[in-house]
């Protein structure tokens, strides 16, 4: 956090934009090339996301912390690793970056820029999945050995694309950006609030477990 806040916000917004462009753009490409085979499309989407996450965390981590995720920023603020005064600006640029990432993906594939997803993602199983995905992500971030977070986060998200019913959004900014893409990676706005609530629950669970692990009694 040695950089001025303005530069950190630029890095955080740019990183989030690129992450969403990868998630949505690879989903569009995968859907076009998979011939209707959703398993192959998800596999391609997963591979692109894993690679991008690792690179983006490595590149932007030294600049802004590479949160790209409001619940990560909130947890860092609670742990006093991010100043509280910076939390709201971080969340704001993450949301703006996520929206711009969706628009960038659409532009690259000659699709209408302004969209709203019609893809419903709902049900108790998917809500549990989002809580599990987010709790796992935060635990990895909090417990990862020094210098290992980028590879461990990327590997975990890649696995969680497949072992969670929700395909592991684990990120309110990702939910926000993907609401504006009627594509393979999209989520209908009506489904978004429950996803975000589940992610907040997952973050709280991760904080609780991390506190247990740090306890000396």
Higher pLDDT pick, 126 / 214: 126
Instruction: Summarize pLDDT for 22-64 with one digit per residue, the tens.
Output: 999 999 999 999 999 999 999 999 999 999 999 999 999 999 9
Average pLDDT over residues 95-101: 98
Average pLDDT score over the chain: 97
Identify the pLDDT of residue 55.
98
Instruction: Summarize pLDDT for 165-201 with one digit per residue, the tens.
Output: 999 999 999 999 999 999 999 999 999 999 999 999 9
Structure tokens at 108: 């690259």
Identify the band that residue 217 occupies on the pLDDT scale cut at 50, 70 and 90: low
Decide: residue 205, CB within 10 A, 0-12 exposed, 13-18 middle, 19+ buried: middle
Question: How far is the C-alpha of 167 from the C-alpha of 129, rounded, in Å?
Answer: 8
Q: For residue 1, is pLDDT > 70?
A: no
Question: How far is the C-alpha of 49 from the C-alpha of 124, rounded, in Å?
Answer: 25
* Angle between helical axes of 5-33 and 38-64 (0-180°, round to 10): 170
Structure tokens at 86: 């910076």
Question: How far is the C-alpha of 98 from the C-alpha of 20, rounded, in Å?
Answer: 6
Question: How far is the C-alpha of 197 from the C-alpha of 126, rounded, in Å?
Answer: 12
Identify the band that residue 112 occupies on the pLDDT scale cut at 50, 70 and 90: very high
Residue 147 Ramachandran class (φ > 0 left, ψ -120 to 50 alpha, else beta): left
Average pLDDT over residues 94-102: 98
Question: How far is the C-alpha of 55 from the C-alpha of 115, rounded, in Å?
Answer: 28
Identify the band that residue 2 occupies on the pLDDT scale cut at 50, 70 and 90: confident
131 touches 201 (CB < 8 A): yes
> Which residue matches tokens 């971080």?
90
Higher pLDDT pick, 105 / 216: 105
pTM for the whole structure? 0.95
Decide: residue 85, CB within 10 A, 0-12 exposed, 13-18 middle, 19+ buried: exposed
Number of alpha carbons in the 13 Å side-chain half-sphere of residue 53: 25
Phi then psi for residue 150, to 5 deg, are: -60, -45
Give first-to-last CA distance, the chain, whole Å. Answer: 32
Q: For residue 80, is pLDDT > 70?
A: yes
The angle formed by the CA atoms of residues 189, 182 and 55, to the nearest 5 degrees, is: 95
Question: How far is the C-alpha of 63 from the C-alpha of 143, rounded, in Å?
Answer: 21
């Amino acid at each position: 956090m040695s950089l001025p806040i303005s530069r950190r916000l630029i890095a955080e917004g740019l990183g989030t934009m690129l992450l969403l462009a990868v998630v949505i753009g690879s989903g569009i490409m995968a859907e076009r090339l998979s011939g209707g085979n959703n398993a192959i499309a998800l596999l391609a989407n997963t591979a692109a996301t894993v690679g991008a996450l690792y690179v983006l965390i490595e590149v932007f981590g030294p600049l802004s912390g590479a949160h790209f995720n409001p619940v990560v920023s909130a947890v860092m603020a609670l742990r006093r690793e991010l100043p509280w005064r910076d939390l709201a600006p971080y969340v704001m640029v993450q949301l703006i970056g996520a929206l711009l990432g969706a628009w960038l993906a659409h532009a690259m594939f000659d699709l209408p820029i302004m969209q709203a997803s019609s893809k419903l993602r709902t049900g108790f199983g998917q809500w549990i999945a989002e809580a599990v995905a987010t709790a796992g992500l935060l635990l990895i971030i909090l417990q990862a050995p020094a210098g290992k977070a980028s590879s461990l986060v990327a590997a975990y998200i890649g696995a969680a694309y497949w072992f969670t019913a929700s395909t592991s959004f684990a990120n309110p900014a990702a939910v926000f950006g993907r609401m504006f893409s009627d594509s393979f990676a999209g989520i209908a706005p009506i489904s978004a609030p429950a996803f975000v609530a589940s992610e907040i629950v997952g973050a709280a669970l991760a904080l609780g477990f991390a506190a247990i692990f740090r306890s000396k009694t």
